Structure 1
Amino acid sequence: MRVIIVGAGEVGSNIAASLAESHDVIVIDVDPETVEELTYSSDILAIEGDGTSLETLEDAGLGEADMLIASTDDDETNILSCGTAKTVGDIFTIARVRNANFLATWTRSEGAFGVDFMVSTNLLTANDIVRVVGLPAAVDVDPFAGGIVQMAEFEVAADSEIAGRTVEEVDTFEALTFAALVQNGDVAIARGQTPIEAGNKAIVIGSPESVQAFSRTVAPAKTPDEARDIVIVGGSDIGYHTAKLLEERGLQSRLIEQDAERGRQLAEALPGTIVMKHDATDVEFLVGEHIDRADAVIAVADSDEKNLLVSLLAKSLGVRRTVAVIEEGQYANLFETVGIDVAINPREATAEEIVRFTQEGQIENLSLIEGRQAEVLEIEVDEASVLTGRPIRECVGELPSEVVIGAITRNQEFVVPRGDTVIEPGDHVVLFVSADALSAVMSVV
């Protein structure tokens, strides 16, 4: 498949890197330095130009392209690029937007704006935040098989029950598979005798109930099963959608917004949320509002610096968990190094969602792990799959060692993958696969 990507920023570059191995990818960007860097750092063809220009798109091979992905940081540019591409042919178009209003309009009218598939960065980020807040100690949570299966990544603290024990000792949950550990930034398949050390991240796949139960063994003592007292700092679009999603789950949050007019709008739109007008960096205000008792503080202000400051203030006051939105992906490690519990990058979430959609047909769902070091994949198996018709213990020998069968669903029901489990045609299988083994796995499953 020939894919044109408009925008070579963090989103576009991540999408290009994920698709380049199996597709013909061309990237367009207005910045000559970005184009030069991408050209010399990868095998991807990069072109300098305006992605809304028909001439530029034709230079990129629009006539022969199957798909156009518009992923710049400007909503209108992305929509216009898709509309321009549609004037030439029946190319499939994907647009990334921040403003969820565009998504609402597009959803009501199929093919609106000349866009075949639209992704709202802000809404995706809000969903990620709410999933993480709902699971103690989790730093990443993704649903598979329509929510029947969950993949979760947990930070192992020094006072966690599982710190200092082996995988075999803690892997005691019936509907849960221990997939991998992240140690010093490197992802490794979890073996029975692998020790789990403080500072590691544990990646598990299982039923939501088992993942929730496992989270209680990872989280430090006295951590609540679910955050109840939640404070959102920043009335941004992400902040609004986060509060709205929490309301839909029956949770009342407190939202701090400094701008009076924006605060009034939010109070009218969020009847189940307490909206407070104030500067969230005012320590006296935070103390007066008993922020130290909060189960979680979510920083979604308009700058990474303010989100970092607010999160550090919350931590210093004794808040159990802090979640911060970070626009610049290279700062993620810094945020976590200084003690922020979860750093969520909207651009990374958007790239993952678009890659997930482009893989539909062969892959039902996917989640990228630790900068694409590994992937969690959901695949519907057929008669030709090496997994079909034999006990798992017999077919794993034909799979690379860097693969873990994490879960199976059959007729919308969870099936625990054990050595004698026979996978049937039509089953959905959730696999943990290291990046090096991905091509080999996809050729046989």
Structure 2
Amino acid sequence: MKIVIVGDGKVGLALTARLSRAGHDVVVIDRDPRVLEESLQTYDVMVVQGNGACKSVLEEAGIDTADLLIAATSSDEINLLCCMVANKMANVHTIARVRSPEYAGQLNFLKDELGLSMTINPEMAAAREIDHLLQFPSFLKRDRFAKGRVEIVELKICADSPLRGKPLSQLYKLIRVKVLVCAVERRGMVYIPSGAFTLEEGDKISVTADSKDLVTLLKNLGLTTERTRSALIIGGSRIAYYLARRLLSSGITVKIIEQDITRCEELAALLPKATIINADGSRQDILRAEGITSTDAVVTLTDMDEENLIISMYATHVGVPKSITKINRAEYVDTFSDLGIDTVISPKDLCCTDIVRYVRAMENTTGGAVQTLHYIVEGKAEALEFVATSATRHLDEPLTQVPIKPNILLSCILRGGKTIIPQGSDCIRLGDTVIVVTTAEQTIRDLGDIFAG
């Protein structure tokens, strides 16, 4: 596919990396020649300098032959204008990044009136993800499939875990709930495990489970099932605003610490039920004074990755049950994971994943196209949702007889509202929803791609 990306900032650069790596024909438009030079040198892409809302610039980028335009500049208005002009010039799908809370309530209206294929809001997506994690604090990550009926959750194997030193073949015997470990991260490596795989302390495991079994899973593992009652948010960003609204509506007590007095006044007016503190949230004495040792969760949302990481490390040190860290640079994740920084959120990556999922759905397939895609194990593996069609091979054959490629695992089958954690005697039937996990190196666009031969 030919994809035009307008804006080569954090989101634009991340999209360029992912889409060019997937083999798409990418054209990048930006005003700054320096950032374009970086993209040109690093990735196999074409670059055009100029204003992406300008007709002549879009013509130079080849909009008439493009399949998709993604507008991801720092300005919501320019992004919307880019999409409007592109729609007038060509038969092209358009995606606009719209971040301002002022537009949040009218995204569906904008989408319909301006002919947008999709709108993305990285800050709102991050707030939604953090809220989802705080519902079950013991999970490091949660990804939903099949309209929320199935989840892939991430857990860490601690010294006292009943799974430590046990092969996965004994999983059901140990926890008495039907789940499947579909990926394991160990010392920076990712494994798609078999039943003989033995878990070790420090492993991070991705587990497929029916959503209604999550509480039982935690209880049988001896982990807390209590939900968050209070949250301390450091930094009064857009994400903090979106998150506070969600938490307050769930009955969670919210306190936000923000240095800028003007922003504090804005938040106080927007969030009358929250407590807004004008102070430096990176100072330990301030954190102690504002009750960090008695809160259920700390969420660090400042503009500095380093500051977020240090505050989260301190929160873990003083015994806060759950800390969530916002970062922009993913290279920090592995470095700090051994220091108590387990749950990180990257608005940029969440945004990119939504767009890549849309691109996958656009691609021509022979049946069984990707319905939902999530990057798991810090992007080292993918979990993909398909629907089996009449074009899908090996329907109604026992899985023991189906040739599946290496490093691919069928983690779940949904049939008529029933969740099946597959065993060798199970099969894929017409209309089934199938969730597949594989390493990130393998590109799977179609359910048929998982079969060997």
Common fold, TM-score beyond 0.5? yes
AA matched with 2:161: S
Q: Over aligned residues, Cα RMSD in angstroms?
A: 2.7
Partner residue, 2:193: 190
Partner residue, 1:419: 424
Partner residue, 1:64: 65
Matched, 1:436 2:441: yes
Matched, 1:405 2:415: no
CA distance in 1, matches of 2:267, 2:115: 31
Contact 1:183 1:201 in 2 (8 A): yes
Partner residue, 1:373: 380
Q: Where do 1:88-99 residues align within 5 Å?
A: 88-99=89-100
CA distance in 2, matches of 1:89, 1:441: 28
AA matched with 1:12: G
Contact 2:110 2:116 in 1 (8 A): no
CA distance in 2, matches of 1:281, 1:60: 45
Structure 2: runs of 5 or more not aligned: 363-368
Contact 1:335 1:343 in 2 (8 A): no
Partner residue, 1:3: 3
- For the structure 1 residues 326 and 418, does the alpha-carbon distance in structure 2 shift closer, same or farther, using more than 3 Å as the test? same
CA distance in 1, matches of 2:261, 2:379: 42
Q: Where do 1:333-348 residues align within 5 Å?
A: 333-348=334-349
Deviation at 1:65, TM superposition (A): 0.9
Q: Where do 1:124-139 residues align within 5 Å?
A: 124-139=125-140
Matched, 1:208 2:215: no
Cα deviations by residue, 1:228-265 (Å, 9 ceiling, x for unpaired): 23222222210111122223333333333344443344
Deviation at 1:117, TM superposition (A): 1.1
What SS is found at the alignment partner of 1:199?
coil
Deviation at 1:376, TM superposition (A): 0.4
What SS is found at the alignment partner of 1:327?
coil
Deviation at 1:363, TM superposition (A): 1.1
Contact 2:145 2:385 in 1 (8 A): yes
Contact 1:386 1:444 in 2 (8 A): no
Structure 1: runs of 5 or more not aligned: none
CA distance in 2, matches of 1:116, 1:440: 20
Partner residue, 1:293: 294
Deviates more, 1:204-213 or 1:121-130: 204-213
Deviation at 1:10, TM superposition (A): 3.9
AA matched with 1:228: R
What SS is found at the alignment partner of 2:140?
strand
Cα deviations by residue, 1:81-129 (Å, 9 ceiling, x for unpaired): 2233223123211012332433432323443456331011111000111
What SS is found at the alignment partner of 1:102?
helix
CA distance in 2, matches of 1:420, 1:300: 48
Q: Where do 1:32-431 residues align within 5 Å?
A: 32-113=33-114, 115-171=116-172, 172-216=175-219, 223-360=224-361, 362-370=369-377, 372-395=379-402, 397=403, 399-431=404-436
- For the structure 1 residues 173 and 431, does the alpha-carbon distance in structure 2 shift closer, same or farther, using more than 3 Å as the test? farther
Deviates more, 1:384-393 or 1:40-49: 40-49
Contact 1:378 1:429 in 2 (8 A): yes
Contact 1:400 1:441 in 2 (8 A): no
CA distance in 1, matches of 2:171, 2:40: 46
Contact 1:294 1:319 in 2 (8 A): yes
Cα deviations by residue, 1:308-353 (Å, 9 ceiling, x for unpaired): 3332332332212211111233333344344323221110111001
- For the structure 1 residues 431 and 244, does the alpha-carbon distance in structure 2 shift closer, same or farther, using more than 3 Å as the test? same
- For the structure 1 residues 9 and 276, does the alpha-carbon distance in structure 2 shift closer, same or farther, using more than 3 Å as the test? closer
Cα deviations by residue, 1:375-414 (Å, 9 ceiling, x for unpaired): 100101101112522222222x2x2121111112223442
Contact 1:176 1:211 in 2 (8 A): no
TM-score (norm 1): 0.89
Deviation at 1:178, TM superposition (A): 0.9
CA distance in 1, matches of 2:286, 2:380: 43
CA distance in 2, matches of 1:442, 1:26: 29
CA distance in 1, matches of 2:220, 2:349: 29
Spell out structure 1 runs of 4+ moving beyond 6 A.
Answer: none
Deviates more, 1:108-117 or 1:63-72: 108-117
Contact 1:138 1:154 in 2 (8 A): yes
AA matched with 1:15: L
- For the structure 1 residues 22 and 442, does the alpha-carbon distance in structure 2 shift closer, same or farther, using more than 3 Å as the test? farther
Calculate percent identity across the aligned residue pairs: 30
